[in-house]
Amino acid sequence: MHIGFIGTGNIAAATVRGLCTATPAPERVLISPRNAEKAAALAAEFAQVEVAADNQAVVDGSEWVVIAVRPPQVEPVVSPLRFRPDQAVISLAAAVSLATLQKLVAPASRIVRAVPQPSVARHFGPIALFPADAEAVALFERIGSAVPVGDEHQFDALCTITAIAASQYAFLGKVADWLVGKGVERRSAARFTAAIAQSVAADADKAEDHGFPALIKEVSTPGGMNEQILRMLTEAGSFEPIDGALDAILARYERPAS
């Protein structure tokens, strides 16, 4: 496989690192010189990575072209480029619709939207995909958990919940701060809190088959401590703003392009 990346931001770099350390790895990875420092670092790290002269050279030398620039930059960066009918295009640009992409990359018509997380550099984390292109799904399964969906609204909904990371860190930070306030050394508090989060996350994949209510029941002995904290947070309305916050982010994804 010859794959090219237009854009060399954090997500693009993580995806390149994941793919180049996966089995099988692409034979050739072309990256744009847009971020010269990151591009040079990737080329130095992996033998199959080459820095192209410009974005058109990335397109010309690739079977798969990955658009990895910020949404406002997609049209000005991509519209001058000349694609081929036989190429496949993957867009990592959130909130840029399939219809918009189809106009920008014609005559290429095989287009997939995908949203990987930075953790794909280490071969884990969710990757939302639409449409469910079998080769794209197989490609991303090498570096994480590919989750294809049947329509663009579902895809945007999956993308929406990637915005919960900062809130999760804020919750963990609050817990760690509580430990510090009780006399625990800060590094120990952070390490223990992070390990608790990893322990919970390790079992979270059971929700795919059993649902999250089943996991809550599993850890919440009636009258126990988990049950008490959950009850207190629920009674305080701590979970009520979540739907509205997610609706607000989804609206940003589905807002018509100006």
Q: Token match 């790895």: residue?
A: 25
pTM as predicted: 0.86
Question: Residue-wise pLDDT tens for the chain (258 aa)?
Answer: 899 999 999 999 999 999 999 999 999 999 999 888 999 999 999 999 999 999 999 999 999 999 999 999 999 999 999 999 999 999 999 889 999 999 999 999 999 999 999 999 999 999 999 999 999 999 999 999 999 999 999 999 999 999 999 999 999 999 999 999 999 999 999 999 999 999 999 888 898 899 999 999 999 999 999 999 999 999 999 999 999 999 999 999 887 554
Q: What share of the chain is helix, strand, coil (3-state, %, to 5)?
A: 55, 15, 30
- What residue ranges of the chain are covered by domains with CATH 3.40.50.720? 2-149
3-state secondary structure of 65: strand
Q: Yes or no: is domain 163-254 CATH 1.10.3730.10?
A: yes
- What residue ranges of the chain are covered by domains with CATH 1.10.3730.10? 163-254
- CATH class of the region 2-149: alpha beta
**Are the CB atoms for 63 and 14 separated by under 8 Å?**
no
**Are the CB atoms for 1 and 26 separated by under 8 Å?**
yes
